[in-house]
């Protein structure tokens, strides 16, 4: 059974860096079959794709966030991470990590609320 | 970006009703379309991918159709557990984009 779990601080100050980690169990982040994604959801903007990373470290980012965003992968720990710099209140959201397979997202973490204040 | 527009934004229906939700893409996406169900406080759950392929474990009362720019999600006979918000998502372009959601409420 594949399980994803987000972790990180629930409160970040404006202008600081938001850092989250997604720990994967029941699957391997070094698998060539999948990508590993971050998606966020806020009342004002609905579901927003942030970006994703492939087993070899190749990334795709949302152009609207690209200048502030780094997604990285640690296959030895079977986890991947998100760093979003210079956050504002507009970055307040529930952040989900998810497994990307065949151009859709078949397993999701439970989500973590991050408030910028 | 490919814009995904769902209609209606919300609707009410009764148990046993047949319900159809539509999703329109701003440009052709072949059949790279997925549907998700989300309940309050939970992550979205994949229902359908490839426009019409049912994810394992999803009840057969859910079905999807369409290609190109116009897609539909149909629930043939609503059950109490189906009252939720539904999202479409395109899987051909970067960034991936979602529809704004359709909230399905009990009448």
Mean pLDDT, chain A, whole residue set:
96
**Banded model confidence at residue A43, pLDDT cuts 50, 70, 90:** confident
Q: Edge-to-edge strand order for the sheet containing B4-7? A: B4-7, B19-25, B70-75, B62-67
pLDDT of residue A45: 73
Q: Band the pLDDT of A75: cuts 50, 70, 90.
A: very high
**Cβ-Cβ contacts under 8 Å, B94 against chain A:** 60
Residue A11 has pLDDT above 90, yes or no: yes
Q: Chain B: nearest CA to A8, how far in angstroms?
A: 17
pLDDT reported for residue A97: 98
Q: By three-state DSSP, how is residue B71 classified?
A: strand
B17-62 tens-digit pLDDT = 999 999 999 999 999 999 999 999 999 999 999 999 999 999 999 9
Q: What pLDDT score does B83 carry?
A: 94
Q: Cβ–Cβ of A104/B45 closer than 8 Å?
A: no
Residue labelled with tokens 């997925």 = B34
CA distance B91 to chain A (A): 5
What radius of gyration, in Å, describes the C-alpha atoms of chain B? 13
Positive or negative, the Cα torsion across A59, A71, A57, A54? negative
Cα angle value B81/A25/A6 (rounded, 5°): 70
Place A102 in a pLDDT band, splitting at 50, 70 and 90: confident
Closest-approach residue (CA) in chain A for B54? A106
Place of tokens 């609707």: B11
């Amino acid at each position: 059974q594949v399980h994803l779990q987000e972790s990180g601080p629930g409160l970040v100050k404006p202008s600081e860096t938001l850092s989250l980690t997604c720990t994967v169990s029941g699957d391997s982040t070094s698998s060539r079959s999948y990508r590993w994604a971050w998606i966020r959801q806020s009342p004002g903007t609905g579901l927003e794709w942030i970006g994703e990373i492939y087993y070899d470290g190749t990334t795709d980012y949302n152009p609207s966030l690209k200048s502030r965003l780094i997604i990285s992968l640690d296959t030895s720990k079977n986890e991947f991470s998100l760093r979003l710099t210079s956050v504002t209140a507009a970055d307040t959201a529930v952040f989900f990590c998810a497994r990307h397979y065949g151009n859709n997202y078949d397993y999701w973490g439970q989500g973590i609320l991050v408030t910028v204040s | 970006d490919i814009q995904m527009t769902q209609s209606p934004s919300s609707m009410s229906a009764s148990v046993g009703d047949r319900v159809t939700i539509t999703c329109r893409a701003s440009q052709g996406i072949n059949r790279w379309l997925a549907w998700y169900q989300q309940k309050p406080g939970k992550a979205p759950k994949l229902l359908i991918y490839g426009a019409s392929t049912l994810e394992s474990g999803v009840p057969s009362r859910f079905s999807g159709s369409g290609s190109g720019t116009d897609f539909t999600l149909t629930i043939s006979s609503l059950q109490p557990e189906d009252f939720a918000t539904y999202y479409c998502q395109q899987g051909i372009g970067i960034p991936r984009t979602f529809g704004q959601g359709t909230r399905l409420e009990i009448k």
